[in-house]
Amino acid sequence: MNTQKIISGFFIIMAMTLNFGFFYGDIDKFSHHSPYELFATIVVNLIATILKLGDKTQLGSVLLATSLVADIQLISAAIVWGIALYVMHDVTNSAQIIVSLSGGALMANIVSVILFIGDTLKSKR
Amino acid sequence: MREHDTIFWIIVRRMRTPLIVLIATMAISILGMVLIPGVDSNGKPYHMNFLDAIYFVTYMASTIGFGEIPYEFTYAQRMWVIFSIFIAVIGWFYAIGALVTLVQDKQLLAEINLARFKRKIKDLKEPFIIILGYNNITKTLINKLNGTKRIVVIDKSQEKIEALELENFIPEVYALSANIDNPEILKLAGIKKRNCKALIVLFNNDFKNTKIALLARLLNERIDLVIKSTTKAQSEHLKNLGIKSIIDPFELIGNRFYLALDAPALWLLEMMFYKHPLKVDTIEVLPRGKYIICGYGRMGQALGKALERANLSFSYIDLKSSQYKQTKQSALFGDKQDYKLLEEAGVKEAVAIVAATKDDLINLTILLTAKKLNPNIYTIARENSIEDITIFQSAKIDRNYILEAITSEYVQLIIHTPLARIFLEEVYRQNEAWGERVVRMLKQRVGDEVEIFELKVSKNKAFALHQFLKNDGKVTLKELSKSLEDRNKEAKIAFLLVKNRKEQVTFLPPQNYEVKVSDTFLIAATKEAKEDFELLVNNINEFHYILTGKDLKFGILKFFSKDENE
């Protein structure tokens, strides 16, 4: 058992599950998509990204790249939401954009988890 | 690219925990602010939205503190803020502290230095020399060679590299502290580069020198290797590796000592390369008679061999400086036992005494003691370090052999004029009669003050001559030694040797020697004649004058002036 592996595995998978939780639901209904869940997704994603830093291998680099993609999409979603709510004062039209951005991030997170599992299976220790 | 990678990864790895701590504290604070209910200006309960929470936590955590927004906080909120301040501010200080430690991190600094060094070597376009080890010898070498060629220095010790950087050599000497045994380091220093001309290795450890020589040979076959070796066996190994410039300071001193004893003309020919005039001062004559050698190590044996060759008798005292210091608990020579030792060796009848131990202080005291016993004795000292020179000068020693200076001068010479090494080897082989003949010839043609230089018949170094030869012109040394002022007179110049394209060497080429493209000449001349000669071989007009006795007409002048021969 490897503590490092547990911690990074926890955050990587948690990033995906939270992301899915936020994404799941009707695309244009805000009641299906909690802002708290988006916040948690962003935080867990950021932590997962930092845990992936410092691995110089080929796989480590790709893992880092997927995380960066997810971060960018999720933060964009949060920014869109913030601008729509507080600057434009109209959120009804931006629900699709926010949810689809998080959907993109979900794809990246799924790739990340697959790579992580593949690496774990390959490892002999 | 790769070296920047390493720096980046070091930073990233060190900053991982601080960044996670930072994100975690921020997230906890923000979440708390959003979840804890507040009261708005109308007394109605409300929840802070995410934008306000992030805004508030950002300025709170960085201790900027714009106040409580959007409405005054309730006590519940304030309690949470107190907690947030503690975790967030501590998180920030931890992150900043980690960054500051990172800047001072030795490993990171070393990586940054390495990256800088690599970039400098990569951008180096001029010919350069790599010197391994920074000490007194290489320091004088750098002083003399820097400017003619660029220099790269590698030394194990960081302190020495820092000392080198303080010297502020101009142009800059690129220095790196690294373990020299590693072949990667030699590659880093640019040994594989096309413009790397030579590698100088002058460590005291023969084994180390040989190892590096072998490595360097394998990495790059073209470069000149200048390697120090102090034993015959090691020199033999190096020769087998195809290394021509082997520096054996003891052999050098032995040879010079022999020449000074037995072959003054050959001695002059050697010393001429070190700017010594072509005449012997009376002080410089070593006396003939019985010698005493104190200290019979590598140096003592080399001198003993020279004395044998010169048919002079000598006795030796096998004195080891380290052993002496240990048994007598003193760094000074000259107690009763020592007096007796000298007397037994025959100090009263001897004409000269040599102190050749590894310790300068013991050498000095040996000679002073000998002088007490025999005031007329001629004193010869081995001086190990250049730094001790003032002590030796004030002690009125008749002759000093400064190991470091001799080594450094010789290396300088063979880097500057590689042909000098070939000529000197011939000098060591030849007999005195040959030497006298050459000295007489040089005195007659050039005079007492001789400058030695090298010239290759190439487009860059001898433009006019090269062009003339390329167009099937024929010219002999006799014509090249004419004076630029009047071609019926001879310039004060003499050709010592020529090496042709096939590396064949002719010593003292005859006057009717026909110059070929890619010949390299070793030339002795006065300062003026040297400048004239360099002008002659490069300047078409001067060259034309030497060949024909007429000035070349060029440009529009051709049409106006009438030449009776045309």
**In chain B, where are the structural domains located?**
2-104, 125-247, 250-406, 446-557
Q: Would the CB atoms of B27 and A39 count as touching at under 8 Å?
A: yes
DSSP letter at B485 equals: S
Q: Smallest Cβ distance to B27: which of A43, A51, A53?
A: A43
Q: Would the CB atoms of B31 and A54 count as touching at under 8 Å?
A: no
pLDDT of residue B562: 57
Given the structure tokens 């001559």, which residue do they identify?
Answer: B465
**B250-406 topology per CATH:** Rossmann fold (3.40.50)
Q: Would the CB atoms of A51 and B49 count as touching at under 8 Å?
A: no
Q: Mean pLDDT for chain A?
A: 89
CA dist B142 and B131 (Å) reads 9
When the candidates are 3.30.70.1450, 3.30.460.80, 3.40.30.10, 3.40.50.620, the CATH number that belongs to B446-557 is 3.30.70.1450
pLDDT of residue B113: 87
What are the residue ranges in chain B where pLDDT is below 70?
1-4, 554-566
Q: Would the CB atoms of A85 and B51 count as touching at under 8 Å?
A: yes
pLDDT of residue B129: 92
Contacts of B30 in chain A (CB under 8 A): 39
pLDDT of residue B336: 82
Contacts of A86 in chain B (CB under 8 A): 49, 51
Q: What is each CA distance from B64 to B52, B85, B89, in whole angstroms?
A: 15, 12, 11
Residue B459: phi and psi, rounded to 5, are -60, -40
Residue B555: phi and psi, rounded to 5, are 65, -145
Q: Please compute the mean of the pLDDT values over residues A25-36 and round it to a whole number.
A: 87
Contacts of A30 in chain B (CB under 8 A): none
pLDDT of residue B566: 43
Per-residue pLDDT reduced to its tens digit, A105-124: 999 999 999 999 988 888 76
pLDDT of residue B398: 86
Contacts of B16 in chain A (CB under 8 A): 50-51, 53-54
CA dist A16 and A104 (Å) reads 11
Length of chain B measured in residues:
566
Q: Smallest Cβ distance to B23: which of A36, A46, A82?
A: A46
> How far B425 CA sits from the closest chain A CA (Å)?
56
Search chain B and give the residue with CA nearest A79.
B51
Whether the CB of B47 is below 8 Å from some CB of chain A: the reply is no
In this structure, are strands B451-456 and B520-525 parallel, antiparallel, or unpaired? antiparallel
- Is the predicted pLDDT of residue A10 greater than 90, yes or no? yes
Search chain A and give the residue with CA nearest B10.
A54
B12 or A80: whose pLDDT is higher?
A80
Strand partners, B224: B198
Structure tokens at B512: 């009717």
Whether the CB of B393 is below 8 Å from some CB of chain A: the reply is no
Whether the CB of B24 is below 8 Å from some CB of chain A: the reply is yes
pLDDT of residue B564: 47
Q: What is each CA distance from B130 to B7, B171, B222, B417, in whole angstroms?
A: 26, 15, 14, 17
Q: Would the CB atoms of A56 and B34 count as touching at under 8 Å?
A: no
Note the CATH architecture for domain B125-247.
3-Layer(aba) Sandwich (3.40)
When the candidates are 1.10.443, 2.30.30, 1.10.287, 1.10.490, the CATH number that belongs to B2-104 is 1.10.287
Whether the CB of B20 is below 8 Å from some CB of chain A: the reply is yes
**Predicted interface score ipTM higher than 0.95:** no
Length of chain A measured in residues:
125
- Is the predicted pLDDT of residue A82 greater than 70, yes or no? yes
CA dist B103 and B100 (Å) reads 5
Please determine whether the domains at B125-247 and B250-406 fall in the same fold group of CATH. yes
